[in-house]
Amino acid sequence: MKSLAFFRVRLFLFLSEVFFSVSLPFTMSLKNLYKRFIVWRMRHMSDRLFLLVLSVLVGLLAGLAAVVLKTLVHVTNKWLLQFSIPSVVGGNVLILVYPAIGIFLTILFVRYVIKGDIGHGLPSVLLSLSRKEGRLPVKNMYSSMVASTLTVAFGGSVGLEAPIASTGSAIGSNVGRFFRMSTHDVKLLLGCGAAGAIAGIFKAPIAGVLFVIEVFMFDMTATSILPLMLAAISASTLANFMMGGGVQFAFTVVGETGLSQIPFYIVLGVFCALISIYFLRVTDKVEGWFARCGNQVLRAAIGSVALGVMIFLFPPLFGEGYSFLTELLGGSEQMLFEHSVFEPLSGNAWLVLLFLLVLILMKAVATATTIGCGGVGGTFGPSLIIGGMSGYFICMLSNQLGLPEQSTANFALVGMAAVMTGVMHAPFMAIFLIAEITGGYALIVPLLVASSVTYLCVSPFEKHSIYARKLAERGDLLTHDKDSSAWQLMDMRKLIETNFVVVRDGDTLRDLVEAIKYSRRNLFPVLTADDKFLGVIHMDDVRQIIFQPEKYDTTPVTDLMHDISEGDIVRISEPPSEVVNKFKVGNRYNLIVIDDDGYYLGFLSRANTFSAYRRFVSSLSEE
């Protein structure tokens, strides 16, 4: 036995030696090849030309990711739905189980494979643009793809667009860093990845570019527009080559739009605004409720059961819902009730309307439940589905009331753009997405009217998109307003000056004189023994008394403190805009910085703060 064990050890050492002798030269040759390529590129290709080449590469990779993910989910959905166990009341019993399987598989993947936070999709991308120089972890190139596949393939009522866009963004970020591009170019390639992903899903390159400009808030400049277009066209071409006309869904506009129809589209815009606000508020409430449930297993169990019941009662909530929407656009209202316990009610038009309205409301709840209980997916797709149903609902209601006959398909398409506008605050992207899906601009006037009305109605209540609202609350959102963004995104903590000599409560003038010997500043913070801020002494206020030695031991420093107001103090939790306002209003040169518990942190200098602001604006505007 000992000789056998010895032989195994020797065999293992021999095989290890062979492996390293073969792999090490190969690894070294790859590193040398990489270094030689980088040197060659720097000598023979300009940064601008290489950026364009990389934008095409990123677009192709993002488009390929979109095709693979959509195909895999579609095939899995189709395979799962071929199995059916009828229940006593109707419907498929397996629908109750599928979502739970997908959510628990997703949780296991995140916990044991990713072994960390998978991120929050597009909000994570927006945060990386504003705070992390466009850097996204390598794992983001596959983590969202795999996790969202597990969630949606088994019926999770979310979309794949946001995970694919975040995957494309991670591909662009890491490709840019791999080839040692500048921070500005890494951010631009990140945008190229997102544009390619959206373009690849919908075969809509213009919508892909506008998605990045409106959602990621890129500036549309000569420097950025060409790489974004190349990435979007590359992804769209690849998707079209691999999947033909069925990239997502295609539809032809029915009839022409006349001026007499405009009031109907205005009504649709108002209704879609209400639905958009409802969608935003419900997702916040439901996801917040799940977040407060600390036990992940309990959260997943409750969410899976609730989601399974919702999908069992309303089968169109299963998965993304695009196949259902395509059938609805074709006028097949029977799809609403297929495999549902409510199938006997399908003959009554008013009951169809009621069922459709309930579906609209329940889709928002199902989406938020899927995400809140541990599933991975986005709200891009659900906003399209809800918009399509909203448009169909308004048109069908109008027709039922005996008003002039309208095209339900056209209203559904316009509703998709309107709700997407309200939820994502991206009107141009929504308009051109529908225009590209329909293969023309026959609906351009209704799209403009409904989307504009929705945007105007939603904006007073929701100032930011569903992706940006939480970042904006934390002050982490980069917007098109570079001046506002600079103040909002600057890290004021890094500007705090701490080289001030402090004196303590109980010290006397003698201690202050001693402090003056070692200080190069004219301000002296007065603190308690445990560093809580009490006040400040100005050198100009004590210049005469320091030449009176007889008062050194009888004058406490607290008697020498300068009068200050709330405008002289900044709490670390205050937004930078408030700091700027205090500098401007009081014409102050220094502000005292304390934490929320009153502990002294240092001073902010007017000169240093505004110098940092100018540098920050310059970096944001660099092209």
Average pLDDT over residues 78-101: 78
Cα-based distances in Å from 615 to 84, 127, 498, 608, 622: 63, 20, 22, 11, 11
Number of folded domains that form the chain: 4
Helix spans in 482-605 (H) = 482-489, 509-518, 539-542, 576-586
Q: For residue 525, is it within any domain? A: yes
Which of 577, 454, 569, 560 is closest to 515 using CA atoms?
A: 560
Q: How many helices (DSSP H) and strands (DSSP E) are in the chain?
A: 23, 6
> In terms of domains, do 228 and 281 share one?
no
Q: Give yes or no for a contact between 126 and 478, defined as CB atoms under 8 angstroms apart.
A: yes
Q: Give yes or no for a contact between 254 and 409, defined as CB atoms under 8 angstroms apart.
A: yes
Q: For residue 254, is it within any domain? A: no
> In terms of domains, do 94 and 168 share one?
yes
> In terms of domains, do 461 and 385 share one?
yes
Amino acid, res. 15: L
Which of 161, 182, 159, 186 is closest to 58 using CA atoms?
A: 186
> In terms of domains, do 467 and 507 share one?
no
Average pLDDT over residues 122-143: 81
> In terms of domains, do 61 and 118 share one?
yes
> In terms of domains, do 9 and 25 share one?
yes
d(CA 296, CA 107): 9
> In terms of domains, do 286 and 239 share one?
no
Average pLDDT over residues 530-548: 87
22 pLDDT more than 60: no
Pairing relationship of beta strands 523-527 and 503-504 according to DSSP bridges: parallel
d(CA 425, CA 28): 49
Residue 507, domain extent: 487-621
> In terms of domains, do 40 and 52 share one?
no
Residues 289-310: tens digit of each pLDDT = 888 887 888 888 998 999 999 9
Tell me, what's the pLDDT at 78? 81
Question: Which tokens belong to 456?
Answer: 């105007």
- H or E stretch at 524: strand 523-527
Which of 205, 165, 212 is closest to 188 using CA atoms?
A: 212
Contacts of 55 (CB under 8 A, 6+ apart): 188, 189, 192, 226, 227, 228, 230, 231, 234
Contacts of 568 (CB under 8 A, 6+ apart): 536, 582, 586, 588, 591, 592
d(CA 525, CA 515): 11
Q: For residue 248, is it within any domain? A: no
Tell me, what's the pLDDT at 481? 53
Residues 312-346: tens digit of each pLDDT = 888 888 888 888 888 877 777 777 777 677 777 67
Band (pLDDT 50/70/90 cuts) for residue 357 is: very high
Task: Find the range with the poorest average confidence among 39-53, 222-236, 307-321, 499-513.
Answer: 39-53
Q: Which of 232-236, 584-588, 596-600 has the highest mean pLDDT?
A: 232-236
Residues 458-482: tens digit of each pLDDT = 999 888 778 776 766 665 555 555 5
Q: For residue 251, is it within any domain? A: no
Q: Please give the model's pTM, rounded to 2 decimal places.
A: 0.77
Domain containing 185 — which CATH number?
1.10.3080.10
Q: In the sheet where 523-527 sits, what is the strand order?
A: 503-504, 523-527, 533-538
Amino acid, res. 614: R
Q: 64 vs 334, which has greater pLDDT? A: 64
d(CA 273, CA 98): 33
Quick one: what percent of the chain has pLDDT higher than 90? 25
Band (pLDDT 50/70/90 cuts) for residue 527 is: very high
End residue of a domain, out of 243, 274, 307: 243
> In terms of domains, do 37 and 79 share one?
no
What is the gyration radius of the CA atoms in the chain, in angstroms? 31
Domain containing 495 — which CATH number?
3.10.580.10
> In terms of domains, do 467 and 500 share one?
no
Residues 196-220: tens digit of each pLDDT = 999 988 888 999 999 998 888 777 7
> In terms of domains, do 39 and 53 share one?
no
Q: For residue 249, is it within any domain? A: no
What's the angle, vertex CA 234, arms to CA 232 and CA 240, rounded to 5? 100
124 pLDDT more than 50: yes
Amino acid, res. 18: V
Q: For residue 387, is it within any domain? A: yes
> In terms of domains, do 37 and 172 share one?
no
Give me the half-sphere count of Cα atoms (radius 13 Å) on the Cβ side of residue 86. Answer: 5
d(CA 474, CA 567): 23
Task: Find the range with the poorest average confidence among 72-81, 343-352, 418-427, 552-561.
Answer: 343-352
- H or E stretch at 244: none
Residues 228-261: tens digit of each pLDDT = 999 999 999 998 888 765 545 556 666 667 777 8
Residues 367-394: tens digit of each pLDDT = 999 998 888 888 888 999 999 999 999 9
Amino acid, res. 578: E
Q: Which of 77-91, 151-165, 485-499 has the highest mean pLDDT?
A: 151-165
